[in-house]
A and B are shown apart, each in its own frame.
Chain A
Amino acid sequence: MNPEQEWPSEWLRGVLSVCTLRILRDGPTYGYAIASELAEAGLGAVKGGTLYPLLGRLEQSGWVEVEWRPGEGGPGRKFYALTPEGHAEAERQAHRWAEFTDITRALTDQSVSLTNQAVSKGQQRP
């Protein structure tokens, strides 16, 4: 993604949970590292004010457990780890999201191909 481009916030709200669960499947990590991974993946800057309430909801759902670990020469960090239920939920959400995006892609790809056809026709005109 172009770093200057921001995704619509409604889109991010929908996808943030499934992406955060996906990152946590790689192992326990802390909030700032999750935000950095989301940014590196191309989702843009996710603010702490959005990320931590989500992590709190995942914890309340029993999908994530937390632990404060002492920092090395810095402040301690709160680590988030998937519970067994969280692993199952992460997998379930990933599959559901794949189905969902297949459907939306099928719809929007028609629109993209129609636009491309129109552009190419326009270019062919004298």
Chain B
Amino acid sequence: MKQPNPDTTATGGVDISTPHVDRSWRDTFVLEQRLADRTGAEIGDALAVVDTHCAESGESAQDAFGDPAAYSRSLVDGTPARTFRLRPATVIGLVLGLFGLVAVPRAVGAWVEGTQVAVTQGDLVAVGLALVLTLVVALRSGPVLALVRHGWLTFVLPFAVLIALIVPQALLRDTVAEFAWGAVGAVGVLALALQVVLTWADFAEPDQLLDPRQPAPGRTTLQWLTAFIFPFLTLLVLGMDVIFRAVS
């Protein structure tokens, strides 16, 4: 019987140990199953079957089950089609988090400079663009998520989106409206708080990969960090702002 590959024993963010399955085979299989909107319990069950079969037959997953994407499709074929949709709470949390991330540092900046928070034409264009992108992700999440099959796109896309949002703000600087920093800051903090609550509520039903051979685990540190990602990013931006002001 083939010895387990030691490189495959780590969970690597996957909550199931599959020591008899090659890591790259497992990662591709999990990705394809996620894109087919299979639940963490279903994916964990399928992975455990592959792992135990490979352990007993001594075959590699590639030899016994063939191409992981094709095997994933063979499990999904014939089952009722599922249409992946982000939950409304997830979308609203995302929008609120983005708003808080922009509003709070601006309010703090205006407070330090003793001015008001100016909203420019570029800000409005960027907000419109961000809302369109959010709607695309929310309504057509299947095709959008399928882009992650191309590794280079997952690296390039966030930068492309960031540039698309920054360019209009840099070019269109005419002020459209001004708001008191206190009001903007309060609304921003409220938005961040609501984002944490909504994201946390999403995790009330965690969809991590479950190993049917093990007792179900509790919430992970990663889930805590994800719920608090926008407040964390906001603090990061504020910290960078403080450093920038100190050195300039």
Contact = CB atoms under 8 A, between A and B. Distances in A.
In the complex, which range does the number of interface residues on chain B fall in? 20 to 34
A75 B65 contact: no
A8 interface: no
Interface residues of A, number: 20
Contacts of A60: 78-79
Chain A CB count within 10 A is highest, among B53, B59, B77, for B53
B44 to A, nearest CB: 11
A32 B212 contact: no
Given A56-B75, A75-B213, A48 B64 contact: yes
B57 A35 contact: yes
Contacts of B71: 49, 53
A83 to B, nearest CB: 18
B52 interface: yes
B52 A47 contact: no
A25 interface: no
The B interface, classified by DSSP as helix, strand, loop or mixed, is helix
Interface string B28-65: 00000000000000000110111111111101000111
Nearest to B17: A75
Interface string A53-72: 10011001000000010110
Interface string B63-76: 11110001100110
Nearest to A32: B56
Nearest to B80: A60
Q: Name the 8 nearest CB pairs between A and B, nearest first.
A: A76-B213, A49-B65, A48-B64, A32-B56, A53-B74, A49-B66, A68-B212, A48-B53
Given A32-B53, A71-B52, A77-B52, 12 more contacts: A31-B49, A31-B52, A31-B53, A47-B66, A49-B64, A49-B74, A53-B75, A60-B78, A68-B213, A70-B213, A76-B213, A78-B45
Interface of A: 30-32, 35, 47-49, 52-53, 56-57, 60, 68, 70-71, 74-78
